[in-house]
Amino acid sequence: MTKLRIAFMGTPDFALVALKQLVAAGHDVVCVYSQPPRPAGRGQKETPTPVHAWAQEQGIEVRTPVSLKSDDEKKAFADLDLDVAVVAAYGLILPKAILDAPKYGCLNIHASLLPRWRGAAPIQRAILAGDDKTGVTIMQMDVGLDTGDMLLVGDIPISSETYANTLHDDLAELGGKMIVEALEKLPGGGLSPIRQPEDGVTYAAKLEKSEAKLDFTDDAAALERKIRAFTPWPGAYFEFGKERIKVQAAIVTDQSGPAGTILDDHLTIACGSGALRPTRIQRPGKAVMDTDAVLRGYDKLAKGVVL
- The confidence score (pLDDT) of residue 1 equals 78
Average pLDDT in the chain: 96
- The confidence score (pLDDT) of residue 238 equals 97
Is-contact 230 236, C-beta < 8 A? yes
Q: How far, in Å, are 14, 100, 134, 170, 206 from residue 155 at the CA level?
A: 16, 29, 6, 10, 22
Q: State pLDDT tens for residues 75-105.
A: 999 999 999 999 999 999 999 999 999 999 9
**What residue type is 210 in one-letter code?**
S
Confidence of residue 198 (pLDDT cuts 50, 70, 90): very high
Q: Are strands 203-204 and 150-157 parallel, antiparallel or unpaired?
A: unpaired
H or E element that contains 179:
helix 164-185
Q: How far, in Å, are 28, 93, 95, 140, 253 from residue 84 at the CA level?
A: 11, 17, 15, 11, 51
Q: pTM to 2 decimals?
A: 0.95
Average pLDDT score over residue span 118-123? 97
DSSP-derived secondary structure for 56-100: HHTT-EEE--S-S-SHHHHHHHHTT--SEEEEES--SPPPHHHHH
Q: State pLDDT tens for residues 32-46.
A: 999 999 988 777 888
Whether 65 shows a pLDDT value over 90: the answer reads yes
Q: State pLDDT tens for residues 124-144.
A: 999 999 999 999 999 999 999
Q: State pLDDT tens for residues 217-262.
A: 999 999 999 999 999 999 999 999 999 999 999 999 999 999 999 9
Q: How far, in Å, are 181, 270, 272 from residue 83 at the CA level?
A: 16, 57, 55
- The confidence score (pLDDT) of residue 79 equals 98
Is-contact 181 18, C-beta < 8 A? no
- The confidence score (pLDDT) of residue 39 equals 86
Calpha distance 115→46 (Å, rounded): 36
Instruction: Please name every residue paired with 140 in a beta bridge, in sequence order, or none if there are none.
Output: 107
Average pLDDT score over residue span 170-198? 96
Burial class of 206 by CB neighbour count within 10 A (0 to 12, 13 to 18, 19+): exposed
Instruction: Please name every residue paired with 138 in a beta bridge, in sequence order, or none if there are none.
Output: 109, 152
Q: Would you tell me the crossing angle of helices 164-185 and 13-24 to the nearest 10 degrees? A: 30
